[in-house]
Every structure is written in structure tokens, then in C-alpha cells.
Structure 1
Amino acid sequence: MEAYDINSSPCLLVIGAREHTLQKLKTMNIRFVLIQSQHDSITTSLEAQIVFIDTYDNLSELSRIAKQLHQIHHFRAVVSFTEFGLYPAALIAKQLNIRGNAVFPVKYTRDKFKMRSLLKKHQLDSIAYQRCTTLEDVVAFYTKINAPFILKPTHGAGSQGVCYVDSLENIPNAWDWAIQHGNQELIAEEYLLGKEYSVESLSLDRQHQVIAITAKLTTGFPHFIELGHHSPAKLTPKLQQKIQQLILRFLDIIQHLNGPAHTEIKVHKDEIKIIESQTRMGGDQIWELTELTTGVDTISKTVLHLLGLSQNTTTKKANAAAVLFFAREFEEILDIHGLDSANNLPGIVRIDCTLKKGQKLGKLSSSLSRQGYILGTGSTIDEAISSVSFAMEHVQITTKAHID
């Protein structure tokens, strides 16, 4: 006998969530059911049904669970704002015939080789690239282009497995680094010169809007792990318009249907190249920088749109915002002071730091190995950057060398 949900408010199925996403849904009073990997911990107290699974990769099991839950809750829509829940959510939207994002845009952005091929087909990409499944493939690519390139996992995320290569001698180490963070399905891409930015956008029923352009700071060669971001980026109006036009065309090409997108680009001498894109909001608190400086909450807007509920009016809270990460490596933490006082400095929104006395840190291998962040705002970009930089200097960390 089929069970029925007698609650009249629309119900949302969520495939994988972060703490901040769940807090937003709670604040919005959205009724939802969460399917969550047991490896992604949740500390938020929820008045919601949660089904824990081992992995998002088992699509048949996920579909079975979603269908059973749908018989009870009659979901109106399904979403995921996490990297590895995006494809399952799009697939379930199609299977259950409910609202969500389409499979095509997720499929063609999660797979970096597919995305490059699609861009080439639409004449939006002119860089050299190649799928590499063996060390010999990588050597052949370098021999062909005779120029520096980036080697990374085809389905990677969070700077995992990214490595810069500028000689034949570097290739074995780069190969080992890349396959440590994924399988042996890699992509080699010509290295692009220029400054790196990320573009935050929102699509509602294929109506696209560029929300913000954010500048970034990385560790540079060879792994390019992100150390900070600030928004809005300092760009001329002409360049901003050029970036917006490119991104809007890109979103049309990937057929992005519903939800945010986070697209990484490089700008060199007014030439703009797309690095990669994800059909989710930007991580690294970029979603929060965007919300603070534009007033646009892409999570809320997506959810309300999919559920057919009226949109909230929002206003920006700051002209500019910046985030800096604790990104230490090869150190033992002997002592740490000043976190509380730094948190109370002007312009500081939040300090989230996991560093503790006695902690031993190895190599900084990806975004996941950083140790927290300082988020701040200002009336100008320079003021926002200055606020978080001063707060970072205010935190006193005593260390000694540690060889992992």
C-alpha cells in the first residue's frame, strides 16, 4: 500500500548538502528530505528526514531510494549543491519527472574532456588538450605542443591532482601526483597565461544571469591551490562586459537549465579563456562573498524557483568582501594565539580555523588540506583585503619544521 504525505507545502529532495545549505533551508522554512553520504558529516540539528548512504556513485541504489521516498513525500524538485551529488540529482529529476537541473550540463561540466570537446565544437575554445590514460599519452602530448601544460583528473575537484608540467623530466612526478587524487583518467591542457578569475552565475529555466566576478590568489606552480579570493574583481567595464558575454554564451552551449554555475577563467591581454566550470555555486566561501556584495543568494533563489514559491527580496551587505585561507604545510603547531581578538577586528565577518597546538601538518595537497579561513568586508576592495590580511597577521602561530 502506498503511503501519502498529507503536508500541503512542497517538498524538496536534496542529494548531498553542506552545513550552510541546510541552515539556509531551515531559515527559509523549506520542507526537505536529505540523502547524504555517511562520509559527509552533519552537525546541524534538523527537523528533516535524512537517509545516509555509502557513496553518491551507486546510482542504481540512489535512484531506488529516491523513488521510494517520492512515493511518500511527492517531491516537487531535487537539488544538489555539492560536487558529487550534482549528476545523481539531475538523473533523479529526469527519472521522477520533477524539477531540477538537466543531465546534459552536469555531464558536460563534471567531465573536463567532454567540456573541452563541446567548447571546441562551438568554436569557443582554441587551446590544446588531450585525454591521457597512460604515461606515454602525457609524453606524447608534451612532445606535440612543446609548451607548458596542466595535468589533472578528468573528474577532479578542489585543486586535487592538479600539476604544472614544463619539461619531460617533470612528467613522471606529475603523473604520480594526478593519479593519487583520482583514477588514471586524466586531461592534459595547454597552460594559459594571465590572471585567474571565477564567474558566478544563476540560471532559472535557461534564463542566465552573471552575478559576480571574483579574483583569486593561488600558491602558483605547480599545484595552484587557492589561498584567497576577493569580490568584486577589479576589471574595466569593457572587460566585465566581455566576460559576461562569454559566460552567457557558454551557459547556452552547456544547456544549463536551473541553478548556479561557477566558471573559472583566465584573462591575458583582454583575451578570455575558460578553464573549467561546475553547475553549483563557488566553494571556498565564494558563494558568501557573492551574497555579501550583491545580495543574491543563489541557493535560495534556485530552491524557491524550483518549488514555485515567491522570491525573497535581498540587498547587499557590503561593497566588497575577501577571504584568506590558513594554508600551512610541513609544520608542527607549537602554539596559537589571537583568534578571538582577530575575530573582533573591524570588517571581520568570521574566522574559522582548525589549527591546534600539537597538530602536525604535511604537504598542502589540495583545497581540502587547508586549515580554515578569515572572511571580511570593506567599503572598497582594498579595504576588504586589508581587513583580512591584518586579521591573519594578528593570529600568532608558533611552529617548528615537520617533515611528513
Structure 2
Amino acid sequence: MGATIKIAIIGAGYMARIFSDNAHQLGIETHCFAWEKGAVAADFVDCFYPISIFEKDKILEKCKELEITGVVATTELTIPIAAYLAEKLNLNGISYDDAQHITNKYRNRICTENIPNLHHPRFALVSSKQDILDLKFKLPFILKPNNLGGKRGISVVKTISELESAIKYTFGGANSSTCLIEEYLDGGIEYSVESLTYHGTSYIIQITEKISSGPPHCVELGHSQPACISKVLKKKIIETISEALEKIGVTNGPCHTEIKIIKDEIYLIEFNARPGGDHIAWPLVDLSTGFHYIQAAIKIACNDFTGVDYKKIKQRYAGVRFVTEQTSYLKPLFDVCEKFEWCYKKNEIHEDLTCLKNNDGYNTNYFIYSSDKPIDIDKINDDIC
């Protein structure tokens, strides 16, 4: 690589700022491309270009002029754009052909149907209420946008009387005429698998345990690392997800894979070929493992990655709790959490608690903990109460 390493960051949201901050720690110059309106990262990058991410050839010409070293995606929407640029610039990335489909939940289920130990609920594509009725799915079932991640647009339908409002909620938020209907998986616990892939070899860095609001919209209310699972189950998850990443075409870069474990069986929820949001990829992975996940993703994009030395991965504990209407019981702890040594960060946006309707870990009240020992947040909260 040349004397000055430069990365192109596609998108300008919170993850773009995280990429920029981590790149600067590596001495890398950051160039960000996105709409100017709502560009959170604009003031934190070296150079910001108010170019729509959909003007990919215009971005490409600028990247050629800048002699960009690597390209990173920050959201589902930017994945195919970043892949297009990387391919045209002969840089590391996902193939553009795969990237155009990698957010498609239906396609990814089809690609991974025959993987041992990876289970799928019954699923189908639908485009109307009549499609849904004709399938005669057992209640409850889930409607979700086929091409959006982050639990956006999800609705659990418990009775037929709820179907109209669920259709409006799910189809209204989707940028597609089709949505996915799935059997509702009752019970179990949700997890996410934080991985990095380099030239086709995948490394599982951390497994995150999630706290979900449950129906109707299954919003995530907190995350804990590492997940409290057996060594046998962890090994099965690592082997299974590594194979799945290959099947869907993740050849380079990060992936945030969501699964559900029911009686030690792995059920796929969805893949997101970008870092996990809501503080998962950063800072939680860094805090719980000592491994700089985002910096590693940048090095992969710049073809300067040397793999993962698992012997150096630390065994620490970290997590985040979102303090909302759904988790109002945590308010006493939230009010005083900064007094505890384990408190890494407290973020207070609202004096009054609000209802979290979609995953949005940056614009709500939360606290992040970090410790060398396990932290029982509920017990600490109970002691305060």
C-alpha cells in the first residue's frame, strides 16, 4: 500500500462515525460519501462528499482520483454500493453480484436450507393479504420486510383480526412489493454472531445474547457479551455460521448474523453483511474480547489483515441496556449507574421514558457496562430498589 492509506466510507450515520474514529486510530485517512441531510459522521471524517450513495459511478470517479485503499459499508443500503466500488477498484469486498442480493432474507434462507444444524421456520414470499390467507400459516406468524435488517418492519400476527394493521406496518416500511411470512418460533433466546471474513476464511469473534421485547415487533432491549452458552453449543454455532457465510457469498468483511436457539438447536433469523449496530460491534466486542473488531474490518477492506489469534482474545463481560417504557424497571439503576465502576457509559436522551418501536440504540436512554467479572444487572437493580 502507498504512504497514505485512505478508506471510503459509504453512508454517514452512526456506524460511519465509528468507522472513521477507528480508522483515525490506525492513522488512516477517511473519505465519506452520503446525502448531506442527517449526515452524523460529516464532522468526524477527514473529507465529506455530499454525493448520494446511489450515484455510485460519481463516487467511483472520486475514489479513483483519491486512490482509495479500501471501501466499507455502514448499513444494509450501502452494502451493494460498497461492493460495486470495491470490485471496480480491484479492492477487497463482497462480489457485486452477491451484494445486490445479500440483504434478501428469502434468498438467504434458500441458500442455507441444506446446511446441517441450521434450521429454518416455514417461510414464503407474499405480496398481498390474499397470498397470506392462501398459505394458511398457523397462528401466530411473523411478517417482515424481505430486504431490511435491524428488526425493522417486523410484526407478529397472533389473530386474523391483527392482519390488516400488520400488513400496513410491514409493507409500509419496506422498499419492495413483497414481504416474508414466517412461522413464529416460540421460546428460546435470540443471539447474534459477530464475524469477520477475509478472502473466504471466516472468523467468529463474539456471540451476543439479546434481550427482546417479544411480540408484536420484537425490538431489542439489551445485549450481553459473551453469550451464556455451553462450549458444545458455541462450537456448533461457529461451525454452522461459518458455512452459512460461505453459502450466501460473504467473502470479505464483517457480518452480523442473528439466530435463535431453542433446545440447543440453531434457527436462522437473518444475515446483515455489516457490523452489528446498537453498540454491539463497537464498543461491546472491543470491551468483551480486547479485539478491535472495527479496526480489523478496516484492515480487511485495505487487504492488510493478518487473521485472528484466538489465544489473545480476552474473556471479559460487557453489555448494554436500553432504558425505555418496556424496561422501566431499570430506571432506578439508570439514575445512578455512573457511580459504579463497571459503568462504561451513560447516555440520557429523554428525561421521560419512551417506547422503543424499532431498534435504535443511539437515540434512546442506555447504559453500557464493562467488567472482568460477570455482571448481574437485574440483581443490582433489585438491590437499589
- TM-score normalised by structure 2 residue count: 0.86
Q: Which moved more, 1:86-95 or 1:13-22?
A: 13-22
What's the offset of the Cα at 1:340?
7.7
Structure 1 residues 203-256: Cα deviation after superposition (integer angstroms, max 9, x where no partner): 011111111111111111111100011111111111111111110110111121
**What SS does structure 2 have at the residue aligned with 1:172?**
helix
1:97 to 84, 90, 95: 90
**Match of residue 196 from structure 1:** 190
If you compute each CA radius of gyration, which structure gives the higher value, 1 or 2?
1
Q: Which moved more, 1:165-174 or 1:100-109?
A: 100-109
1:303 to 281, 298, 305: 298
Structure 1 residues 306-358: Cα deviation after superposition (integer angstroms, max 9, x where no partner): 324476999667611121002237x9xxxx999785323220000112114xx
**Match of residue 281 from structure 1:** 275
Closer/same/farther in 2, CA of residues 96 and 312 from structure 1, 3 Å limit: closer
**Match of residue 164 from structure 1:** 156
Query: Matched residues, percent identical?
Result: 25
Q: Distance in 1 between matches of 2:305 and 2:271?
A: 29
**Kept in 2: contact 1:318–1:378 (CA 8 A):** no
Q: Which amino acid aligns with 2:73?
A: S
- Whether 2:3 is the aligned partner of 1:8: answer yes
Structure 1 residues 117-148: Cα deviation after superposition (integer angstroms, max 9, x where no partner): 2223667554311111111112223x1x3242
Structure 2 matches for 1:114-153, cutoff 5 A?
114-120=107-113, 124-141=118-135, 143=136, 145-153=137-145
**Kept in 2: contact 1:322–1:384 (CA 8 A):** no
Q: Which moved more, 1:246-255 or 1:125-134?
A: 125-134
What's the offset of the Cα at 1:265?
0.8
Question: Higher RCO, 1 or 2 (CA under 8 Å, sep at least 6)?
Answer: 2
**What SS does structure 1 have at the residue aligned with 2:227?**
coil
Q: Distance in 1 between matches of 2:160 and 2:108?
A: 27
What's the offset of the Cα at 1:262?
0.8
**Match of residue 206 from structure 2:** 212
Closer/same/farther in 2, CA of residues 368 and 44 from structure 1, 3 Å limit: same
1:364 to 353, 356, 361: 356
**Match of residue 52 from structure 1:** 50
Q: Could you list the runs of 5+ residues in structure 2 that have no partner in the other structure? A: none
Q: Distance in 2 between matches of 1:196 and 1:20?
A: 25
**Match of residue 348 from structure 1:** 343
**Kept in 1: contact 2:296–2:305 (CA 8 A):** no
**Kept in 1: contact 2:194–2:255 (CA 8 A):** yes
Closer/same/farther in 2, CA of residues 203 and 313 from structure 1, 3 Å limit: closer
**Kept in 2: contact 1:328–1:371 (CA 8 A):** no
Structure 1 residues 41-85: Cα deviation after superposition (integer angstroms, max 9, x where no partner): 32674462211234x3x2xx2x22222213321122211132321
**Match of residue 168 from structure 2:** 176
Q: Distance in 1 between matches of 2:263 and 2:316?
A: 27
**Kept in 2: contact 1:159–1:225 (CA 8 A):** yes
Closer/same/farther in 2, CA of residues 33 and 341 from structure 1, 3 Å limit: same
Closer/same/farther in 2, CA of residues 272 and 26 from structure 1, 3 Å limit: same
**Match of residue 34 from structure 2:** 36
**Match of residue 398 from structure 1:** none
**What SS does structure 2 have at the residue aligned with 1:178?**
helix
Q: Distance in 1 between matches of 2:89 and 2:317?
A: 41
Q: Which moved more, 1:265-274 or 1:313-322?
A: 313-322
Q: Distance in 2 between matches of 1:232 and 1:47?
A: 31
Q: Distance in 1 between matches of 2:266 and 2:36?
A: 40
Q: Distance in 1 between matches of 2:42 and 2:333?
A: 27
